[in-house]
Amino acid sequence: MSLKNFFDFNLQTLKQFLTTDLNIEEKKTSMRAKQLWQAVYKKGLSEFNHLTNLPIELRGELSSNISLEKPKIANTQKSSDGTIKWLIQLLDGNKVECVFIPEKTRGTLCISSQVGCTLNCRFCHTGTQRLVKNLNFSEIVNQVMIAKEQLNDWQEQKIITNIVLMGMGEPFYNYDNVKMAVEILKDKDGLNYGSKKITVSTAGIADKIPQAAREIRTYLALSLHAPTDEIRELIMPINKKFKIKDLIEQCKYYAKTVNEKITLEYVMLRGINDSKECAKQLTKIMAQFPCKVNLIEFNPWPGVNYMPTERKEMESFSKIIQDAGYVSTIRRSRGQDILGACGQLRTESQKRKFN
Ligand code: SAH
* pTM, entire model: 0.95
Task: Please report which residue ranges of the chain form alpha helices under DSSP H.
Answer: 11-20, 26-41, 56-65, 137-151, 175-186, 209-215, 229-235, 244-258, 276-286, 311-323
User: Which is nearest to 178 in space by CA: 209, 207, 141, 205?
Assistant: 141
Tell me: the pLDDT tens digits for 282-320?
A: 999 999 999 999 999 999 888 999 999 999 999 999 999
CB of 343 closer than 6 angstroms to any ligand 1 atom: yes
Please give the domain boundaries of the chain with CATH numbers for all domains.
4-67 (1.10.150.530), 72-338 (3.20.20.70)
Question: 98 catalytic, yes or no?
Answer: no
SS3 54: coil
Task: Return the residue whose CA atom lies nearest to atom 18 of ligand 1.
Answer: 343
Computed over every residue of the chain, the mean pLDDT equals 94
Reply yes or no on whether the pLDDT at 42 is more than 90: yes
Tell me: the pLDDT tens digits for 89-113?
A: 999 999 999 999 999 999 999 999 9
**Would you state the pLDDT for residue 355?**
40
User: Which is nearest to 41 in space by CA: 184, 249, 175?
Assistant: 184
User: How large is the average pLDDT for residues 24-40?
Assistant: 95
Report the separation in Å between the CA atom of 342 and the middle of ligand 1, taken as the mean of its atom positions.
5
Which of 165, 223, 225, 293 should be mutated for ligand 1, with most atoms under 8 A from CB?
223
For residues 78 and 303, give the distance between their C-alpha atoms in angstroms, rounded to a whole number: 23
**Would you state the pLDDT for residue 237?**
97
For residues 14 and 34, give the distance between their C-alpha atoms in angstroms, rounded to a whole number: 9
For residues 128 and 137, which has the higher predicted lDDT (pLDDT)? 137
Looking at this protein, which amino acid is placed at residue 235?
Answer: I
Question: 342 catalytic, yes or no?
Answer: yes
